[in-house]
Amino acid sequence: MAIREKYPDADIVAYNRSKEPLEAALRDGVIDTAVHEIDDSFMGCRYIFLCAPVQTNISFIPKLLPYLTDETVLTDVGSTKGNIHAALESIAPNVHFIGGHPMAGKEKSSYFNASGALIDGCYYFLTPSSAATKKDISDFEDLISSLGCNTVTVDPGKHDFIVGAISHVPHMAAYTLVKLVKDEDTPEEYMRVTAAGGFRDTTRVASSDPTMWEEICLANQDNLTCLMDKYIDRLKEVREYIAEGDKEALYGFFKEAKDYRDSMMR
């Protein structure tokens, strides 16, 4: 949608397993061609975006190989990068691949919850492969910047550690908190019925697609388990402050976190 708005003359081809989103995108003028199979429609594309769950993205690479040329940049929008870079190194090391990850999204997925404004102003990670040329990278940076994004280029491993902390662990915390409340709710379900802004804001992302998050967890296991261990240690730390009635420690803990969170406000 963002590409269509910025580049109304672009020729956009889309694949989807489901018929309804493709038909809607055609009706809305967002895409020019809808396909249900990977076929010659992708021949001659300058950019091909892989937008499925992370493991599914990898499964499409062999199917796309016949349509990739030295003029094609393959990219993705997946939440992990190490696994797809490793797969490409094994399957097709010469493909001009630039991993991509826009730090934007909603808890509700599908075409029908999409918006061209969703990525406006977001940070967009780029993880170029060794096969991507300087021109590939420069041109792709220009494209992403033109959509209103701020590009950040890092290696795949660093990307996966960063998003493990600022995206993956928060999702685990949200899912776990919802599960705690579900399990501890009263017979009258007062917790579910009366949950207000704080709980809803904290757990919004627990409405995200379970299949997507199952794959993300398995694709970023090492970073996620390491960071979750550190998060559990922080919870234990504040638990001890509460158990001991340590007002000074509690205030310092909250104040340090508040100041850092406030520094993120844009």
Query: Given this model, what pLDDT does residue 95 score?
Result: 97
Q: Where are the domains of the chain?
A: 2-153, 160-262
Q: Does domain 160-262 have CATH number 3.30.9.10?
A: no
CATH architecture for the domain at 2-153: 3-Layer(aba) Sandwich (3.40)
Question: Could you write out the three-class secondary structure of 99-134?
Answer: EEEECCCCCCCCHHHCCCCCCCCCEEEEEECCCCCH
User: What is the signed CA dihedral for 108, 114, 119, 123, rounded to 10 degrees?
Assistant: 30
User: What does the pLDDT look like over 201-237, one tens digit per residue?
Assistant: 999 999 998 988 999 999 999 999 999 999 999 999 9
User: What does the pLDDT look like over 84-143, one tens digit per residue?
Assistant: 999 999 999 999 999 999 998 777 778 888 898 999 999 999 999 999 999 999 999 999
Query: Given this model, what pLDDT does residue 257 score?
Result: 96
Beta strands in 51-203 (DSSP E): 73-76, 97-102, 123-128, 150-153
User: What does the pLDDT look like over 107-122, one tens digit per residue?
Assistant: 777 888 889 899 999 9
Taking the CA of residue 51 as centre, how many other CA atoms within 13 Å lie in the half-sphere pointing to its CB? 14
